[in-house]
Amino acid sequence: MSDEMSAPAGDNDAMPPSGFLTELRLAISFLTILPVIDRRRASEDTVAASFAWFPIVGFVLGAALTAEDWLLAHVFAQVIRSVLIIVSLTVVTGAVHLDGLADTADALGAGRDRERALDILRDSRVGTFGASAIFFDLTLKILALSTLAGHRRYAALLLAPMLARWAMVLVASGLPYLRSSGSGSTLLGNENKSLGSRAVFVAIFTLVVVPMLGALRAVALAGAVAIVIVFKMRWFYRRWLGGVTGDLIGACGELVEIAVLVTMAS
């Protein structure tokens, strides 16, 4: 999730689209580069409601990666498949969360200087800390995935993107958004009114899906690690800057994605 992203634009005179499919398309457009946006501009309430569907998009991404891995297994060795899978995930998401992680790492270099950190988060350039964060992110993901095989590998591929998008929802929920404009302000400005039953539905969906992944002990441990990271990051963001931005939300998702893959590989 990035601060540069904006709600879909289109014919302002047309009736704003609404409903589950519109919300799901918006969630997909925020999280991927797939061309699924309706030409009509959605209302702010609909954009905000799409936030709750992020974990569903994560599950779909995981399912696509699992299918890709199964197909590649007929041609490539496990290590090469792992590289290609992480490349695919990076490409289909537009590397937007990696960019958020890089900006967050650069902002951390400002230390306790809040205004300097916020300026860095607004800067699209990647510094030394950001480049290092991207390197270690991709390296850890590839190495962790390279050690996984069989059913446990498929469980990790399904679980990591889904829990990472859950993390984005949970880390932002209830925290002030530190931008006055942009897609994040629309998503989070009304999110307390829009999550409600949608978040409950997604939670039930997650609880139904997770036991089907097998390797229950590893899956449970990965889920616990993800929860700890989310609450630690919420505490840290509140203490450091007093809220969140799109970059900070994306960085949390990246950290959870890494942690889930590493935990499943341990």
Question: For residue 237, what pLDDT is reported?
Answer: 93
Distance between CA atoms of residues 150 and 14, nearest Å: 50
Model pTM score? 0.85
Work out the average pLDDT over 106-115.
Answer: 83
Which of 104-118, 139-153, 179-193, 251-265 has the least mean pLDDT? 179-193
Distance between CA atoms of residues 51 and 30, nearest Å: 9
- Rg of the chain over all Cα atoms, to the nearest angstrom: 18
One-letter amino acid of 20: F
**218: Cα within 13 Å, side-chain hemisphere:** 22
**Burial tier of 48 (Cβ tally within 10 Å: 0-12, 13-18, 19+):** buried
Which of 103-117, 123-137, 223-237, 246-260 has the least mean pLDDT? 103-117
One-letter amino acid of 199: A
Average pLDDT, the chain: 83
Judge whether residue 175 has pLDDT over 60. Answer: yes
Q: Cβ neighbours of residue 79 under 8 Å, at least 6 residues apart?
A: 146
Q: Cβ neighbours of residue 47 under 8 Å, at least 6 residues apart?
A: 7, 26, 183, 186, 187
Query: What phi, psi does 244 have (nearest 5°)?
Result: -130, 160
Question: For residue 199, what pLDDT is reported?
Answer: 65
Question: For residue 142, what pLDDT is reported?
Answer: 97
Judge whether residue 22 has pLDDT over 70. Answer: yes
Which of 3-17, 82-96, 153-167, 237-251 has the least mean pLDDT? 3-17
Query: Which position has the higher pLDDT, 76 or 121?
Result: 76
DSSP 177: B
Query: Which position has the higher pLDDT, 44 or 114?
Result: 114
Query: Which position has the higher pLDDT, 143 or 45?
Result: 143
